Amino acid sequence: MSELSPQTRYPRRATRQLHVGDVAVGGGAPITIQSMTTTKTADVEGTLQQIYALAGAGCDIVRCTCNEQEAAEGLAHIVPRSPLPIIADIHHQYRRALEAMEAGVQGLRLNPGNIRRPEHIKAVALEAKDRGIPIRIGVNGGSLDPELYEKYGGKVTAEAMVESAKRELAYFEEVGFDDVKISVKASNVALMIDAYRLLADTVDYPLHLGVTEAGPPPAGLVKATAGMATLLAEGIGDTIRYSLTADPVEEVRAGRWLLESLGLRERRGLDLIACPSCGRAEVDVIEVAARAQDALTDLNIPIQVAVMGCVVNGPGEAREADLGIAAGRKRGHLFVKGEVVKVVPEPEMVEALVEWAQIIADGGVEEALRRKDEGAAAEAEADRMALLDDKGDDANNADERIQIIRKLD
């Protein structure tokens, strides 16, 4: 646990609160860490593997690009299987936002410099209002509306970026939509700091911090940290992202280190990730995860553990976890680094996690893999195929959503 109280050294700016899925942002909630997948969103399995890796690293919210219809269709498969709430990053086509919402995303990011027609902005806001989906107004210094660029002397200024955000807000307010957070990112650190300070004095919406296109480490880490740490120390910021030219897992780790070093997030020992309870879930994932959390926390072992609701995709999606268990056909498939090591009766799943966590703590992953039951993989595959025969390939009704998405285009 952190030795610093978040409220002692850095009093937080008071803001409204919104929810991205079940994750609170602003209004005194813990500062959240975001990242963005680098896969093509249409690559469902590859994207989910990256999302699980991000969740394991401590990510709270993940953003996926939605730049084409195939990406929206991918989201229809990804959202019900993701352990994290998903924000769709919308580029130039407002229809992609409508499709992403139909796919089930928990949030949107719109760049005012890319979608400029008021009727399109309002159409998205109205749909988001009806569905209870928050929107981030994501102003970017590199894609500022040309009109504002000219207004402020042919250069990007803090005032121009804040005005861009306020114009978008005005369109939202016309249709009664206020479930909003805002970012005013720039690659220039001083400009980014000035823009956020000005914005914080102007609105009471939650703010998403970041230095855009910070570049590769170590220089990118220094730039992003300089900007975000300055603002966080002033109480500004409700959610953050390191935008690095690197594996997005590195972004998340950097975010955690930053918040922990400032005393704004607690330090972690056990790292437990769990899938949502989707159409394939064979057990009460929430109940099993809670029991596992209690049992493993008592061991005080620094280990990453995954609790997955079904055996069809679970071990593959959470292959980066040190240890995990997936449920299927009244049994639990225990896996280490994605490799099934034992099959146990469903009532013994938590006890098996505790036993094998201790094995890993004492002898490492290699020792756990050495002890695997030789027949476990074959048993697990038989359960997996039987479950596929029983529930089919589309247990989450993604195909139905995709048909609606195609009609929207």
Can you tell me the distance from the alpha carbon of 307 to that of 322, in angstroms, rounded to the nearest whole number? 12
Residue range 334-356: average pLDDT?
92
pLDDT at 355 exceeding the cut of 80? yes
Write down the pLDDT at residue 272: 86
pLDDT at 283 exceeding the cut of 80? no
Q: How far is CA 16 from the centre of its chain?
A: 21
Angle between helices 94-103 and 69-78 (to 10 degrees): 20
Can you tell me the distance from the alpha carbon of 57 to that of 53, in angstroms, rounded to the nearest whole number? 6
The CATH number given to 6-261 is 3.20.20.20
Comparison of pLDDT for 345 and 24, the residue scoring more: 24
80-120: per-residue pLDDT in tens?
999 999 999 998 899 999 999 999 999 999 999 888 899 99
CA distances from 279 to 50, 139, 237, 275 (A): 21, 37, 36, 12
CA atoms lying within 13 Å on the CB side of residue 242? 31
pLDDT band, residue 4 (cuts 50/70/90): very low
pLDDT at 50 exceeding the cut of 90? yes
pLDDT at 7 exceeding the cut of 80? no
188-198: per-residue pLDDT in tens?
999 999 999 99
Write down the pLDDT at residue 118: 94
Write down the pLDDT at residue 281: 56
Q: Which residue has the tokens 């929107």?
A: 135
133 secondary structure, DSSP code: -
pLDDT at 299 exceeding the cut of 90? no
123-138: per-residue pLDDT in tens?
999 999 999 999 999 9
Can you tell me the distance from the alpha carbon of 328 to that of 384, in angstroms, rounded to the nearest whole number? 7
Is the separation of the CB atoms in 409 and 95 below 8 Å? yes
Q: Where are the domains of the chain?
A: 6-261, 271-391
- Which helix (H) or strand (E) segment is 131 a member of? helix 118-131
Q: Which residues contact 19 (CB under 8 A, 6 or more apart)?
A: 25, 134
Partners of 25 in the beta sheet?
18
Can you tell me the distance from the alpha carbon of 397 to that of 393, in angstroms, rounded to the nearest whole number? 9
The CATH number given to 271-391 is 3.30.413.10
212-268: per-residue pLDDT in tens?
999 999 999 999 999 999 999 999 999 999 999 999 999 999 999 999 889 898 867
Can you tell me the distance from the alpha carbon of 382 to that of 34, in angstroms, rounded to the nearest whole number? 37
Write down the pLDDT at residue 313: 67
- pTM score of the predicted model: 0.79
- Which helix (H) or strand (E) segment is 12 a member of? none
pLDDT band, residue 173 (cuts 50/70/90): very high
> Which of 6, 97, 88 lies closest to 47, judged by CA?
88
Write down the pLDDT at residue 19: 98
